[in-house]
Amino acid sequence: MLINADFDKRAAVHADPINWISTRMQGVDRHMLDRIGAESGHATTIVRYAPGSSFSAHTHAGGEEFIALDGIFQDEHGDYPSGTYVRNPPTSSHIPRSDDGCTIFVKLWQFESKDRTQISIDTTKTPFNPDPQNPAIKTMPLFRDEREDVRLEKWQADQTINLTAPDGMEILVLEGEFKEAGETFTKHSWLRLPRGHKTTATAGQAGARLWVKRGNLAQTSKQTPQD
């Protein structure tokens, strides 16, 4: 399965309307943003759990990164309410579920194989800081290593933001909206810019709150593990 699998091209997926696809687990649906492979390959997905639904036990051989978008995501290790950012490194395992229903944005098979860093951050209780390079942006660092930089950003209303992606970047809208290349990105819309891409974006009248990852496409291959 190949979805937005050419990482040398700009990719955009808008949230409205979202085309939900049923998984093999009853009550668990997904909206695929990019993908190489079937059930074990590079994947970026929005996943929706109906109340009382669960997924079978599994190990994340390639790691799992997610942010809870609404509701409460759960597993045997704890509860992850809306706004929680989590990194489950390679070799980690769990049995995910949601008693009351939830939606998460999740990335699979995108870790270094030796990474063992476990992270869980409640972004609703973590402050934003002014960006020293742009007064129109406030940032909340989530994770950074030699490969990538992950953060939340707040863009001030009606401000134009320069987007430079020497090693690629991804943006998911959490709240508000922005415009880029003639397209409007609203809540849960996703944009991926390839290496070397330069563009500008303009925040909407209410500003925008975003999940942003930079640098992650520096070594991305078009071939990753597949079923």
Q: Is the pTM of this model over 0.75?
A: yes
- Tell me the mean pLDDT in the region 194-216: 97
Q: What is the pLDDT of residue 175?
A: 97
Band (pLDDT 50/70/90 cuts) for residue 84 is very high
Q: What is the pLDDT of residue 18?
A: 74
- Tell me the mean pLDDT in the region 193-205: 97
- Tell me the mean pLDDT in the region 103-124: 93
Structure tokens, 169: 């970047």
Q: Is 170 helix (H, G, I), strand (E, B) or coil?
A: strand
Band (pLDDT 50/70/90 cuts) for residue 40 is low
Q: Is the pLDDT of residue 224 over 50?
A: no
Q: Is the pLDDT of residue 100 over 70?
A: yes
> Exposed, middle or buried by CB within 10 Å (0-12, 13-18, 19+), for 77?
middle
Higher pLDDT, 19 or 147: 147
Q: What is the pLDDT of residue 39?
A: 63
Among 215, 220, 65, 63, smallest CA distance to 148 is for 215
Domains and CATH numbers, the chain: 2-122 (2.60.120.10), 124-214 (2.60.120.10)
